[in-house]
Amino acid sequence: MDIAEIRKMIIGDLWINSAAYENVGYVVDNFGNRFMGTESERKTKDYLLTLFKQYGLENVHAEPYKYIGWKRGTTKVEMTSPVTRELWNLALPHSASTSAGGLEAEVVDLGKGTREDFEKNRNVIPGKIVMVTTGYPAQNYFSLTRTVKYGWAIDFGAIAFILRSETSGQLIETGSVATGYRNTGEIPAVSVSFETGAFIERQLQKGPVRVKMKVDNEITPNATGWNVVGDIVGGAYPQSLVVMGAHYDGHDIGQEAASDNLLGVMVMLDVARELAKFKKKLRRTIQFVAFGNEECWTVGSVNYVAQHEKELRNIDLMVNGDGLGRTLGMGVSVGCPSNLVESLARLLQDWKIDLPLDRAARWASTSDCHPFIMEGVPTISLSERRPSGWGSRGVDVKDHTIADTFDKLDRSLIKQHALLLAQLLIALTDVEEPLASHLPKNEVLEELQRRGYVEILKAQRRWHPNSVLGV
């Protein structure tokens, strides 16, 4: 049986016998949102181990790692002037706590919170509470994430941070403000809805606004998380790896966190189940990894790279699946190196795989591909295609909100993404030579500097060029 016949059989089976939808439903109904450090996370890890084995993967195991954990406590945010009103809010993961008596200060509204916004208000910010929106330039999420804005708020002397959603409907957006593999937050940080932000903005038009904030969270040093790993060993080049990864953890503000990114893991496992039927027929080994705790800035994948430092040279390509099955458009982008763009374009064309390719190499990310990029491992990411002008988590994108629920998943869309992923993985394992070579660490750092990413990585507290990972 040649590879073309295998491809056809897998496509047919994936469409007829898809199990991703049901697997997501089982986890969210029985285990919940899988937030770091919870029983939900542990139970899901155990369930994934069962699926990895049941689906025929080899060398299945969980790899534990340590990190700085965080537990949500209580928050109370109240406007004290010009009117008195309690403001509905949620603490952002890794938010620092206030002192026992809380804090009170004026609010400075910096809009989207660009570097220019901070610079223009350099003399106003110290001692104040900074409010920014979740928005960022279209197609450039990395350059203006919440962690960048949070880092700048600290650097410019703010004593607290308010993140305002740009999506209406009282959907408060969550997300970590610190890299849980290395540090935790330095100042209190809360998130509010679009409507609450509009109320604050309206009061600011009348004059100074004062807000009192009391935040009480818990830091749990030396917490344990897990990556779940399993292989389909190649027949011709078993030591050459294509690493396919997606994270299984979710945020704790909702009961399910169905699409981000449990759905991606289950789409990945649907494909793994079908490919495992043809082990040894694929030339290269595919290593499937369900990463833990991506939501606190790639904690699981950072630890994976550190634990596998000696084997990184065997990885021909890392494929990141954060977003599989989630939105109508699916595309592929290159992390590094730049010459991977052209070789990947030829591969997609030769195999007639209908995946739109972003022709700009990104070189930095907020997802699990980033620690691989920092080590010079060729990487690509599969995720949603964003429409022109898309500048935030739009009304049709519910991840990082309480509305990320199972009822929004679409069976046909899930199958389509699985078909595309399967074809891509088959093609990647069948090439005679790797699509791109690894880059030396110094060239990666030089490229990040050339592209202006150093300032952003410093703001995110992820610029550590002399460490093993640089993240």
Write out pLDDT tens, residues 162-195: 999 998 999 999 999 999 999 999 999 999 999 9
Q: Is the domain of 304 the same as that of 426?
A: yes
pLDDT of residue 355: 94
467 in a structural domain: no
The candidate with the shortest Cα–Cα distance to 35, out of 4, 3, 71, is 71
Q: Which domain covers residue 141, as residue numbers?
A: 74-219
Whether 69 has a pLDDT exceeding 50, the answer reads yes
pLDDT-based confidence at residue 385 (cuts at 50, 70, 90): low
> Is residue 441, in this structure, part of any structural domain at all?
yes
Say if CB 391 and CB 307 are below 8 A apart: no
Does a structural domain hold residue 465? no
On whether both 168 and 148 belong to a single domain, the answer is yes
Phi/psi region, residue 32 (left: phi>0; alpha: psi -120 to 50; beta: rest), is left
Q: Which two tokens stand for residue 416?
A: 């389509």
Q: What is the pLDDT of residue 140?
A: 62
What's the mean pLDDT in 266-275?
A: 98
Beta strands, E only, 116-172 = 129-133, 160-164
Cα→Cα distances 37→47, 180, 375, Å: 16, 12, 28
Domains identified in the chain, total number: 2
Task: Give the residue from 219, 249, 278 where a domain finishes.
Answer: 219
Which residues are bridge partners to 290 per DSSP? 228, 246
Boundary (domain end) residue, out of 219, 236, 259? 219
Q: What is the pTM of this model?
A: 0.96
470, part of any domain: no
Q: Is 141 in contact with 366 (CB distance < 8 Å)? A: yes
The residue from 204, 219, 234 where one domain ends is 219
Residue 139 lies in a domain: yes
The enclosing domain of 209 has a CATH number of: 3.50.30.30
Asked whether residue 464 is assigned to any structural domain, the reply reads no
| CA 154/CA 59 separation, integer angstroms | 45
Alpha-carbon separation of residue 245 from 13, 46, 225, 304, 353 (angstroms): 22, 17, 16, 11, 20
Give the Cα separation of 128 and 116 in Å (integer). 18
CATH code of the domain containing 404: 3.40.630.10
Report yes or no: 325 and 280 within 8 Å, Cβ to Cβ: no
301: number of Cβ within 10 Å = 28
pLDDT of residue 445: 94
Highest mean pLDDT (candidates 138-152, 238-252, 375-389): 238-252
